[in-house]
């Protein structure tokens, strides 16, 4: 049986943009490491600098949280093109998809993504990477 997880990407007003359902390897050593590989240290910008568009600078960046969400889905599907990664409605609080883990990704222009997770058995949030934030306050604002 797989370790299922849900991953939410939130916009700057803390509204969920997308919810990704992963059927197996949803634990930190699996999904968490995939999130680090894709997101850690990549700046969130408001637009794409001309030097990047012209190919003069090969810089990884996300033009807002909406692009981050799209790139994340694409990168996860590259690893598992058939099955395992699905989109489900981004309903918060989470619906029951038999998930063991719930991941939340936050970000703001000029910063890099921040990721937290929790297990269904323990409602406490664990900071995974990025600048720590008050996650409970952020989730209440949505």
pLDDT tens profile 75-105: 999 988 999 999 999 999 999 999 999 999 9
Is the dihedral angle over the CA atoms 47, 51, 53, 55 positive or is it negative?
A: negative
Going by C-alpha positions, the residue among 87, 78, 74, 71 that lies closest to residue 23 is 87
pLDDT tens profile 47-68: 876 555 556 555 688 999 999 9
- Rounded CA Rg of the chain: 15
Q: Please give the DSSP secondary-structure letter assigned to residue 29.
A: I
**How far apart, in Å, do the first and last CA atoms of the chain sit?**
33
Q: How far is CA 91 from CA 18, 47, 84, in A?
A: 9, 28, 20
- What tokens were used for 81? 């093109």
pTM of the model: 0.92
Lowest mean pLDDT among 28-42, 46-60, 120-134: 46-60
């Amino acid at each position: 049986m797989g370790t299922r997880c849900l991953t939410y990407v939130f916009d700057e007003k803390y509204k969920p943009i997308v919810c990704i359902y992963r059927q197996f390897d949803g634990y930190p050593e699996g999904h968490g490491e995939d999130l680090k590989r894709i997101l850690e240290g990549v700046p969130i910008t408001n637009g794409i600098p001309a030097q990047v568009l012209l190919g003069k600078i090969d810089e990884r960046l996300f033009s807002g949280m909406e692009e981050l969400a799209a790139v994340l889905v694409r990168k996860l599907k590259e690893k598992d093109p058939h099955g395992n990664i699905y989109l489900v409605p981004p309903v918060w609080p989470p619906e029951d998809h038999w998930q063991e883990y719930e991941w939340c990704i936050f970000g703001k222009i000029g910063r890099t993504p921040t990721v937290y997770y929790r297990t269904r058995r323990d409602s406490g949030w664990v900071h995974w990477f990025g600048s720590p934030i008050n996650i409970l306050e952020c989730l209440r604002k949505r």
